[in-house]
Amino acid sequence: MKKFYGKMISLMVVVLIFACTGCGITPKKMVFTDKNKAIEITATDQYEELKDKEDSILSIANESDDTYVGIMVEGKQDLADNLSLEEYVQGNIDYWTTENNTKVLEKKQIDVNGKKAISLINTFEVNSTKLKGITYIIEADKAFYIIDGTTKPSNFDKVKEDLAAILNSFAVK
């Protein structure tokens, strides 16, 4: 009888260790929304919402990966009539180039949840810190949304798929 209980306890310990080894490998998904609940993005529970958002309507960060995602919005009523997505993107690239030394490495048209968008892979500097990221500029009915997913250049290849997944989850409610 003792051998049976001993083997059973050993088996339970092995199963428990195996089960716990899997814990944390697949982080839970979380939905983050702006204060007006007008937009949302989905990220893993490794991200936390930032309270000090500066110009963003929603900002999240994964401090362990040194990764940041911020969403800004600009209403079309504040812009020139009939401004196209391409014109809006080019105006921002021109501004960012002079403001923070942005270099666009890749630019392509994409679709994000039924909305026309342009994706940029870029490098830039903020307060002398070099960063690399993915920027989506999305055209909605009444606004343009700029979503930046950034990290250090040395970390970019490791997190770019996660950043792209977060940016692709963007939805206007």
pLDDT of residue 1: 44
Over residues 141-169, mean pLDDT: 96
pLDDT grade for 82, boundaries at 50, 70 and 90: confident
Q: Considering only CA atoms, which of 96, 31, 90, 87 is closest in space to residue 58?
A: 31
Does the pTM surpass 0.95? The reply is no
Check if the beta carbon of residue 131 is closer than 8 Å to that of residue 150: yes
Examine the pLDDT at 80 and tell me if it is beyond 90. Answer: no
Span 22-36, pLDDT tens digits: 455 677 999 999 998
- Taking the C-alpha atoms of residue 2 and residue 9, their distance in angstroms, rounded to an integer, is 10
Rounded Cα gap, residues 86 and 72, in angstroms: 17
Highest mean pLDDT among 22-26, 54-58, 65-69: 65-69
What domains are there in the chain, each with its CATH number? 2-172 (3.40.1000.10)
Q: Which tops the pLDDT comparison, 89 or 5?
A: 89
- Asked which of 31-40, 46-55, 82-91, 125-134 is least confident by mean pLDDT, the reply is 46-55
Tokens of 123: 């490098």
Pull the structure tokens for residue 155: 């970390």
What DSSP letter does each residue of 134-147 carry, written as one string?
EEEEEE-SSEEEEE
Strands (E), 11-141: 29-33, 39-44, 48-49, 58-62, 67-75, 103-112, 115-126, 129-139
Q: List Cβ neighbours of 103 (8 Å cut-off, separation of 6 or more).
A: 97, 122, 123, 124
